[in-house]
Amino acid sequence: MSTNSAAQAQAAAQKSARRLPPELNIFLVLIGIALVYEVLGWIFVGQSFLMNTQRLTIIILQVAVIGIIAVGVTQVIITGGIDLSSGSVVGMTAMFSASLAQASTWPRALYPSLTDLPVIVPLAVGIGVGLLAGFINGQLIAKTKIPPFIATLGMMVSARGISKWYTKGQPVSGLTEQFSFIGTGIWPVVIFLVVAVIFHIALRYTRYGKFTYAIGANVQAARVSGINVESHLVKVYAIAGALAGLAGVVTAARAQTAQAGMGVMYELDAIAAAVIGGTSLAGGVGRITGTVIGTVILGVMTSGFTFLRVDAYYQEIVKGVIIVAAVVVDVYRQKKRKT
Amino acid sequence: MVSPTTMAAVRASGAIPNAEYLLSAEGIRKEFPGVVALDDVQFKLKRGSVHALMGENGAGKSTLMKILAGIYTPDQGEVLLKGQKIRLQSPLDALENGIAMIHQELNLMPFMTVAENIWIRREPKNRFGFVNHGEMNRKTAALFNRLNITMDPQTQVRDLSVANRQMVEIAKAVSYESDVLIMDEPTSALTEREVAHLFTIIRDLRAQGIGIVYITHKMNELFEIADEFSVFRDGKYIGTHASSDVTRDDIIRMMVGREITQMFPKEEVPIGDVVLSVKELSLKGVFHDVSFDVRAGEILGIAGLVGSGRSNVAEAIFGVTPATSGTISINGKEVDIDSANTAIRHRMAFLTEDRKDTGCLLILDILENMQIAVLQDRFVKGGFVSERALTKVCEEMSSKLRVKTPNLSERIENLSGGNQQKVLIGRWLLTNPRILILDEPTRGIDVGAKAEIHRFVTELARDGVAVIMISSEMPEVLGMSDRIMVMHEGRVTGFLDRAEATQVKVMELAAQ
């Protein structure tokens, strides 16, 4: 009798454990990191880390661009692929969109006849160029069957080259107020959250999402089930490219200038955000909600270091350790659930 | 408790007298979260004998085998090797104690040679500490010679057929000079001739005093090779008997705990018009001039040895690997099937041969696995999936097919083979197919689930679906088919009607 009820209790516990969203763990990690900073803050700096709205806003603001990229990269990783080109695409699209967002009052406009254009033009061009880069990534992967790592590595190098070639290394400045507005205040965060909500819904409730997971889980089974794997992959990479393009526009708008070196290493931060958020590099697993939390963790980490006045060199060292630790914890958790 | 190294030393010295049993296990209990996989189970293996483990999937035989091979440690009970209590901590530990296991999934490294695979971790070295490849190849050749295997030790494993890889695995296990050899369904990928060869090797090893634990789902193998067998059901030990003492029906009764009155519930149903017509279909270098018709309500069996091109024909018809010439017509109209997507639009369905590789989305749940094919054209509005309606249909399908699971959000990898197969069948039934291609629909599936799957196929035929069923299991082909097409080396060698088909006639056409 007692063993019976114990078994029932165990079964019930398992059932409820299964119901909990998988993001809960990573959310607890986020809270944990924040609390550690809170305590360290009172000890070493003599002030609160969390009770500072301005700081919290800046945290999200700083990672909004990474977050926008990470939403696209998450989808790519769910298919079992990877996108290394997003940082360079940010640089390239920042340059292209900024060059069409210059004010006529600026004396050294790149295209003097194309100044004071409505904001939709640079926005569309930025997203469009990103989409094109992603489309090329997808075509390469689908048609030539080269590994995504290589295809997007090529794009990473070439897109950075294009950004430098475009103005021979000169920054693009004198942007219209309308354009810069995209990067001011809370707007980057709003754009990030809107993008996150859209693709959260797309992944969970649309055919696009179901096929994305299916391809990542077992590409051969997906193909036999009638999914046109090649065209679907092109879509996923194109979307990731378009989101990197959007991130490029936001970056240029926020800085009120574009430089060829923008977005360097962003691809790795975006991948880190996705992976910390529970996306599996093996494919088939991942959620946008997790990625959003992963992005915020990256932001909190950086902001906390600055808050504690930790040397920038140490920051990078510790950041690397935390990224790996987060994934190690996740791997162990997965293993425990399996056996 | 004796440490493995001392144990190995003692074993080598021959100091231990021959215990009555080579390997025995008593009172074994193993729990996994939520399941008792084994409950007070016993097992006794005699020296120089082949002992089969029988039971439905999920009966506990795999768990027991993994305990004997050191992959799992039991929660309770003890394992005795030649009368000495041992507690194995790892497969390596088991190997050092003289227990080798041949896994169902082949664990070979494709880009290394046969010899390198066999002697890995034990490579003969020269005086500089480098691997002595000449010596290693000679040792491999000697081993192959002893087992009567003809294979070049220097071939890369990726260039070998599945059957030859299986032979390498067996040679590798034998090379450890083990006392106990555990084989997990070793014949599932072998042709009849290779099975015969394997059985010769097994008899040879048995004559040398080696004890062999043999797991199989195939009843005829049990009678052919096993001296004794033990039956398990739902994690419990049912009994051990000499295989000469029992009949097939006895064993089935022990395994399922109930009588299966009819293994193949084939019904005579009215046969309609030709639905699928294949004419002179060829895939260069693989199969040639394959022509056949399938009618509504008809079950066309395709028999032939592994490698005869059966599965390739199915893949070509379904557009997975389109044919290079020939025509396919559906309801009298010629169609061009260039992808699985097109095939599904023509209301075809294809249950593939390999559940793991081309069937299951292992890390996804039952619901996601079941709904993926039907999403091609139904339950989608403006890109959005009609979640509620689809879930309801999947739940109905799941209970109709009697998938054993607490809920549909269970990952499919946690189900038994039979239940996985039912989910995949459900995936295709949701698409309302009029042509259903089944490739080895019951491979590696327990007797109970097998009978259920046969019943579903019969029902589908009754509903007017044209069924093509590829199977290596002779009783299944003979029992279920209205007509049998036999293939050999990429060509159709003949058709047999249900009335005239016998095992001998099929084999004559298949082996030529």
- Tens-digit pLDDT profile for residues B270-305: 899 999 999 999 999 899 999 999 999 999 999 987
With CA atoms as reference, the chain A residue closest to B347 would be A226
Mark yes or no for CB contact B361/A221 under 8 Å: yes
Strand stretches in B7-144, DSSP E: 23-32, 35-45, 50-54, 76-81, 84-86, 99-102
- Helix ranges, chain A (H): 2-19, 23-40, 53-78, 86-99, 120-144, 148-166, 177-181, 187-205, 207-217, 219-224, 229-255, 266-276, 288-307, 312-338
Mark yes or no for CB contact A224/B376 under 8 Å: no
Residue B220 lies in a domain: no
Domain that holds residue B302: 274-511
pLDDT of residue B139: 93
Mark yes or no for CB contact B350/A224 under 8 Å: yes
Mutation for A interface: B39, B372, B407, B436, most A CBs within 10 A: B372
Strand stretches in B310-362, DSSP E: 325-330, 333-335, 348-351
Name which of B340, B333, B300 is nearest B317 in CA terms. Answer: B340
pLDDT of residue B476: 86
Residues A179, A121: contact at Cβ < 8 Å?
Answer: no
Residue type, B324: T
Q: For residue B384, list chain A residues with Cβ-Cβ distance below 8 A.
A: 205-207
Residue B439 lies in a domain: yes
Angle at A27 between CA A264 and CA A76, to 5 degrees: 45
Q: Please, what's the largest Cα pairwise distance for chain B?
A: 77
pLDDT grade for B307, boundaries at 50, 70 and 90: confident
| CATH number of the domain that residue B444 is part of | 3.40.50.300
Mark yes or no for CB contact B33/A208 under 8 Å: no
Residue type, A200: H
Residues B465, B434: contact at Cβ < 8 Å?
Answer: yes
With CA atoms as reference, the chain B residue closest to A224 would be B340
Residues B168, B157: contact at Cβ < 8 Å?
Answer: yes
Cβ burial of B426 (10 Å; 0-12, 13-18, 19+) is buried
Residue B326 lies in a domain: yes
Task: Please determine, for residue B15, whether its predicted confidence score (pLDDT) is greater than 70.
Answer: no
Q: For residue A213, list chain B residues with Cβ-Cβ distance below 8 A.
A: 361, 364, 368
Segment B55-77 shows an average pLDDT of: 85
Mark yes or no for CB contact A227/B364 under 8 Å: no
- In tens, the pLDDT along A174-209 reads 999 999 999 988 899 999 999 999 999 999 999 999
Cβ burial of B242 (10 Å; 0-12, 13-18, 19+) is exposed
**For chain B, what's the residue count?**
512
- The C-alpha atoms of residue B91 and residue B77 are separated, in whole angstroms, by 19
Mean pLDDT of chain B: 87
Residue B221: partners with Cβ closer than 8 Å, 6 or more residues away: B52, B187, B195, B214
Mark yes or no for CB contact A207/B375 under 8 Å: yes
pLDDT of residue B260: 45
Residues B328, B335: contact at Cβ < 8 Å?
Answer: yes
A206 at interface of B, judged by CB pairs closer than 8 A:
yes
Query: Other C-beta atoms within 10 Å of A26: how many?
Result: 23
Going B247 to B248 to B254 to B260, the CA torsion angle's sign is: negative
Name which of B122, B102, B60, B55 is nearest B210 in CA terms. Answer: B102
Residue B330 lies in a domain: yes
Task: Please determine, for residue B241, whether its predicted confidence score (pLDDT) is greater than 70.
Answer: yes
Mark yes or no for CB contact A220/B34 under 8 Å: no
B383 at interface of A, judged by CB pairs closer than 8 A:
yes
Q: For residue B358, list chain A residues with Cβ-Cβ distance below 8 A.
A: 218, 220-221, 224
Residue B196 lies in a domain: no
Query: Which phi and psi (to 5°) does residue B278 adopt?
Result: -115, 130
Residue B310: partners with Cβ closer than 8 Å, 6 or more residues away: B302, B303, B304, B439, B470, B487
Residue B249 lies in a domain: no
Mutation for A interface: B361, B378, B381, B431, most A CBs within 10 A: B361
Structure tokens at B9: 């030393």
B320 at interface of A, judged by CB pairs closer than 8 A:
yes
Task: Give the torsion through C-alpha atoms of A298, A304, A307, A311, to 10 deg.
Answer: -80
Residue B183 lies in a domain: no
**Residue of B363, B372, B409 with shortest CB distance to A225:** B372
pLDDT grade for B7, boundaries at 50, 70 and 90: very low
- The C-alpha atoms of residue A26 and residue A326 are separated, in whole angstroms, by 8
Q: What percent of chain B clears pLDDT 90, i.e. is strictly above it? A: 48
Q: Between A41 and A9, name the one with better pLDDT.
A: A41
- In tens, the pLDDT along B392-441 reads 999 999 999 888 888 898 889 888 888 899 999 999 999 999 999 999 99
Instruction: Give B351→chain A minimum CA distance, Å.
Output: 9
Q: How far is CA B48 from the centre of its chain?
A: 26
pLDDT grade for B16, boundaries at 50, 70 and 90: very low
With CA atoms as reference, the chain B residue closest to A206 would be B384
pLDDT grade for A334, boundaries at 50, 70 and 90: low
Strand stretches in B252-307, DSSP E: 274-283, 287-295, 299-304
pLDDT of residue B11: 46
Task: Please determine, for residue B178, whether its predicted confidence score (pLDDT) is greater than 70.
Answer: yes
- The C-alpha atoms of residue B177 and residue B199 are separated, in whole angstroms, by 18
- In tens, the pLDDT along A238-269 reads 999 999 999 999 999 999 999 999 999 999 99
pLDDT of residue B229: 93
Q: What percent of chain A clears pLDDT 70, i.e. is strictly above it? A: 92
**Residue of B33, B364, B383 with shortest CB distance to A208:** B383
Helix orientation angle between A86-99 and A229-255, rounded to the nearest 10 degrees: 60
Segment B210-229 shows an average pLDDT of: 88
Q: Report the predicted TM-score, pTM, of the whole model to 2 decimal places.
A: 0.78
- The C-alpha atoms of residue B31 and residue B39 are separated, in whole angstroms, by 8
Name which of A220, A229, A210, A226 is nearest B344 in CA terms. Answer: A226
Q: How many domains does chain B have?
A: 1
Q: Between A143 and A5, name the one with better pLDDT.
A: A143
With CA atoms as reference, the chain A residue closest to B372 would be A225
pLDDT grade for B314, boundaries at 50, 70 and 90: very high
Mean pLDDT of chain A: 89
- In tens, the pLDDT along A220-244 reads 999 999 999 999 999 999 999 999 9
Structure tokens at A338: 């399996």
A-B C-beta contacts closer than 8 Å: 86
Residue B223 lies in a domain: no
Residue A98: partners with Cβ closer than 8 Å, 6 or more residues away: A122, A172, A173, A175, A179, A252, A257, A258
